[in-house]
Amino acid sequence: MDVKNLIESLIGDLTDDVPMQRISSKAQVIASLLDNVKFKTWVDKELIKGYSNADDLPEYRKFRAMNIVASYVIPAMSGLLQYTNTPVPVENLGEETSDEIYTVKIYDTIPVLERTIKTDDNVHYSVTSYEKACVQKVLGHAQITSVYKQLSIQNFIIMMETVRHQLVEFMLEFNKTLFGNEIDFAVMEKEKKDQIINNIYASIVHTGTGNIDASHSNNIGQGNVEALDRDCILQIEKLLSEIESLKINESEKDDIEQCVSDIRNELKSESPSNRFIRNTLRALKSFGSIVTEQAVGAGIDKLIDKFVI
């Protein structure tokens, strides 16, 4: 089997957004033919078998839940008080314990995640017995009927795009070190090639859906802004200033500051990208520090509506 042709085929699949289940089979064959231990180990963990040890998990497979949510009933003089899908203040257990509960570690393969996460809403992730016991401690004598971690779909999009990016990097490395740049990467349209290689940065501004969006169009729907006018820029700047004045969780501070900085830098560019600004605003809205600020969240939604793509 010609491994160079197989690599070209895999690159073509990446540009066409072929499901990772099909891509994983080709990657597995390439790893076997090249007998490259590093690549084979990566393929096994990311695409075939998954991770079994928390110590081996890369950082992009670890993230923080937006909320710990529970449904429960509490005995009252007149009967029972019922609460449905209510955030639980596990912060009351102390910073160390709450951080432990909020932390999520993803061990599944990317093909499994692509098959199971088919939603444009947030993801519900089950809690461990220990974590449920902690929630029970917060709620006291309440009878818990369900409890889960609420995760942003955007975290999964970042993770899946990171893996696609790494796969491209492996192919580029093999082309340079093993094949003397003989592999024909012309099968990738320039726009799509640039998007895949740079998507780890673009993923910070996610599409907000469970499906990876490989298009790079800046077409704006009828009735929405095609170019940023001064009024719109002023609204964005005002919103960013409001966000900077909020009391931000330390665990989210760096990421929020990065998003704010990214938007400001984009506004200063010669041709600001509507997609970039819109999706970075969506990323900001997913942070817990902003979720609790309804006025700021409403302001973000109002601006996002101007950038429907």
- Give the model's pLDDT for residue 189: 46
Question: Is the distance from CB of 256 to CB of 290 less than 8 angstroms?
Answer: yes
pLDDT means per 10 residues, the chain with 309 residues, are: 84 84 92 93 95 90 93 87 93 94 94 80 89 96 94 87 89 87 62 48 38 31 51 86 85 84 84 78 76 77 68
- Give the model's pLDDT for residue 106: 94
203-224 pLDDT per residue, tens: 433 333 333 333 333 332 333 4
Tokens linked to 7: 């690599």
- Give the model's pLDDT for residue 271: 75
Question: Is the distance from CB of 121 to CB of 113 less than 8 angstroms?
Answer: no
35-63 pLDDT per residue, tens: 899 999 999 999 999 999 888 899 999 98
- Give the model's pLDDT for residue 183: 75
- Give the model's pLDDT for residue 49: 94
β-sheet with 143-151: strand ranges across: 79-87, 67-76, 143-151, 123-126
Question: Is the distance from CB of 235 to CB of 303 less than 8 angstroms?
Answer: yes
Torsion sign (Cα): 93, 97, 103, 104 = negative
- Answering whether pTM is above 0.95, one says no
- Give the model's pLDDT for residue 43: 96
Residue whose structure tokens are 């094949």: 179
